[in-house]
Structure 1
């Protein structure tokens, strides 16, 4: 019996469900990150600023006020509260998956994330002082990224039961999560509604997407294609297959028994003992260049995005509508679109090669984006001058920054497991995932330093 004899994925139902679940893993973080205008307005000094003044700061109908401490540091703390839990729970998930059932991990994570978004939407309508609002927001970000890490690890484990091609919809969903969040924010601004109403609709949209992800996961076990690979149908097939393999091995042993007496040493020492776990340190030595490279890629990216990049003002907008759309379009939408294009390029081009010295050099070269963004038209410069004032400089930097992030990170993640034998590839993949998360966490820490230099 082969996989061809099993049921087919009718109407690509399982593929679409995994795409929706992939969208749900990164959508929460992107929704919080993209809503910087809303959070900045809520963190204004309530004692010195009226509500009308705070709204005028966003809508461009009044004089821009200097940012408060919470406003200036919000993106830094948001990134830190997102990336550290992501790193910690990515590591913990390797223990949790043995003790907590898969359904509880995936469905429970989605429910918690949905409830946090619902709470965020409700809080839009509830007045709060800046400091309590800031603390509550950081707690929500910690919760969302902690459960998001569990959801992501569990989802990739679930996809491992299916053919290899079913990891692709998860990656596609994750790649489009940021684009979806940016487009949702642009649509909310385009309605022309007050900021409060736009933010409420924005977070309700996220709740709807999470509900769709929950409904999709509930439907998954009902599809024959998924049951064949993950439940009784496939289990029974594997039992018969294992039994046949044992019979074959017994026949081979009997052929090696002279005069009916079994040899003490029937075989030579195998090249690889499947019961012996490969050394993590020895595997890391083989993939260290790729692991450190992907770590550095994301350290640079998260170090300035969005803590520095979201603080840039449009030079040419004046009092036009472009002022409202500049950060959602030029920062968040462009980053996510070109990052996705960079990731997609690896399906057609794998240059430079796996052992080329040019790849780590190109990764290291990305450090130049840190000073380039810091010298753009930021809202408040203290130590550095504004050199790249025009919007065109910022947009050009953002295109190169995002496409190199997606392309180089994907190359490293692809090459890492290929530098070791097949029986060590799974461990190599786990090491690469850890260094990816480590890069995100280091970037969050360095973002405080980069923002302070401005």
Structure 2
């Protein structure tokens, strides 16, 4: 995990000193507003570029509002001073929160043995797959993606109307509560009420994914305001979460005596990560570095103060981002994000989890094949793709090329459909080799991570500063829509096998 570049002060201002020369403050403020005007499309010849005494009076009024704590007021006084991300703390927390946004999905989808045990045939000793077992993965994918998509879209449109702290902390608490409840159910005997347990599980998945949609929408929105390596931290954290989950699953099934015991250890670790994420976010929100980038450096430090400033300074009216204007600038990147996840979710994991080894009778083939090839290899390839995309950022500002590359990934679908699946009624098997399947999974995963991150990095770069949060939230919505489309297609594809 690479660490971000440390930002150094651009001006030698003493923001922490109480004895700040008022004339110097006035100059810095005037310069920051001039810069803000240039970024927003106002030239120096515009009447809006000059700040009169009334404007300065308004700024000082804003400084005195109760919404500012001492640290934030100091940042306002020296708007061109960039604090340092001490010990890369914010970067690390973004990584952790990226893992958390997909934590319920990763833990639920990876615990394959546990779900197969819970929904096994309890009326006979037959080892034949039950109807719930055959469709559970696709049902889980569908119930996770649809509510997630709906709330990602709602967050992109209305999220900025609600306090960021409420969205982030509230969603983390909801996820933790429902995840803990599902952990308790592991040791409950559900053999006599499998259908009810299935319904409870699906409802829990729906609620948790609504909360994760709010969490990820807010997280992508704020990460879009930071340097690009922080967006990479979020999306790489999502992939790293999959790698971490797969490794923990493999370790637990190796040393635990039965599926329930391994699942209990597995889900307990997930609860610990959720608590850690909640505490880390609260601490990060108090740092000067976080406040600097999540503060509108034109002086609007909160939705309330943003409206107040617009009232007092008519020259800034119209500077709030407009949805369709932002969409028009970055829709090709949104299309790329959508297409990447439509192609991926159409077959992963609903189809790939059904692919078995060509050989039997060995622990690798019977126990570890699916956890390693379907989860560990895919998530590792996805993670490496996102890391490389963050390092080279190629293609450089070429949305049409990125969109075409995402369309080409559709070729993976028929290749994976003709691999050796355990459920096969209509389509023939053309690819029997484990090695070819593993190779396909490596390229499939790598291209997923690479293109998803490239689109996520360049979308906020294609809009103005004040539009970055909305652009990143829109990208999160496109991602969710892609998940919904892909999971819906997977329901049909599983029936075609």
> Normalising to structure 2: TM-score of the pair?
0.74
User: Does residue 20 of structure 1 match 2:58?
Assistant: no
Evaluate the alpha carbon distance shift between residue 146 and residue 294 of structure 1 in structure 2; reply closer, same or farther with a 3 A threshold: same
Separation of aligned partners in 1, 2:327 and 2:298 = 34
User: Does residue 449 of structure 1 match 2:492?
Assistant: yes
Deviations 1:79-118 (A, max 9, x none): 1111111111112224664554333322221122112221
SS in structure 2 opposite 1:146?
helix
1:206-355 equivalence runs, <5 A:
206-226=270-290, 274-275=318-319, 278=322, 280=324, 284=327, 287-352=330-395, 354-355=397-398
Separation of aligned partners in 2, 1:7 and 1:363 = 38
**Root-mean-square deviation (Å):** 3.4
Evaluate the alpha carbon distance shift between residue 172 and residue 319 of structure 1 in structure 2; reply closer, same or farther with a 3 A threshold: closer
Deviation, structure 1 residue 66: 2.3
Deviation, structure 1 residue 158: 4.2
Query: Which 5+ residue runs of structure 1 have no aligned equivalent?
Result: 54-64, 250-269
Separation of aligned partners in 2, 1:375 and 1:232 = 52
Aligned match for 1:39, one of 115, 129, 150: 115
* Aligned residues of 1:20 and 1:213 also touching (Cα < 8 A): yes
Separation of aligned partners in 2, 1:362 and 1:6 = 37
2:175 alignment partner in structure 1: 113
User: Does residue 175 of structure 1 match 2:222?
Assistant: no
* Aligned residues of 1:44 and 1:130 also touching (Cα < 8 A): no
User: Does residue 205 of structure 1 match 2:269?
Assistant: yes
1:377 alignment partner in structure 2: 420
SS in structure 2 opposite 1:32?
helix
73-82 or 15-24, which deviates more: 15-24
Separation of aligned partners in 2, 1:340 and 1:146 = 24
Query: Which 5+ residue runs of structure 2 have no aligned equivalent?
Result: 1-12, 14-77
Deviation, structure 1 residue 361: 3.7
Deviation, structure 1 residue 374: 1.5
Deviation, structure 1 residue 21: 2.2
Evaluate the alpha carbon distance shift between residue 289 and residue 42 of structure 1 in structure 2; reply closer, same or farther with a 3 A threshold: same
Deviation, structure 1 residue 318: 2.4
* Aligned residues of 2:350 and 2:494 also touching (Cα < 8 A): yes
Deviations 1:162-182 (A, max 9, x none): 666544433332221111111
* Aligned residues of 1:227 and 1:234 also touching (Cα < 8 A): no
Separation of aligned partners in 2, 1:358 and 1:225 = 35
Evaluate the alpha carbon distance shift between residue 130 and residue 146 of structure 1 in structure 2; reply closer, same or farther with a 3 A threshold: same
Evaluate the alpha carbon distance shift between residue 341 and residue 83 of structure 1 in structure 2; reply closer, same or farther with a 3 A threshold: same
Separation of aligned partners in 2, 1:419 and 1:162 = 14
Separation of aligned partners in 2, 1:276 and 1:106 = 22
SS in structure 2 opposite 1:47?
coil
Deviations 1:218-271 (A, max 9, x none): 333444544566689996999xxx9xx99xx9xxxxxxxxxxxxxxxxxxxx9x
SS in structure 2 opposite 1:347?
helix
User: Does residue 87 of structure 1 match 2:149?
Assistant: yes
Separation of aligned partners in 1, 2:466 and 2:161 = 25
Separation of aligned partners in 2, 1:167 and 1:353 = 16
User: Does residue 436 of structure 1 match 2:479?
Assistant: yes
Deviations 1:351-393 (A, max 9, x none): 5564486544432222222121111111121001222112112
Evaluate the alpha carbon distance shift between residue 165 and residue 383 of structure 1 in structure 2; reply closer, same or farther with a 3 A threshold: closer
2:454 alignment partner in structure 1: 411
User: Does residue 71 of structure 1 match 2:133?
Assistant: yes
Separation of aligned partners in 1, 2:392 and 2:379 = 20
Deviation, structure 1 residue 131: 1.0
Deviations 1:381-427 (A, max 9, x none): 10012221121121011011111111222233344455566676655
Separation of aligned partners in 2, 1:285 and 1:95 = 15
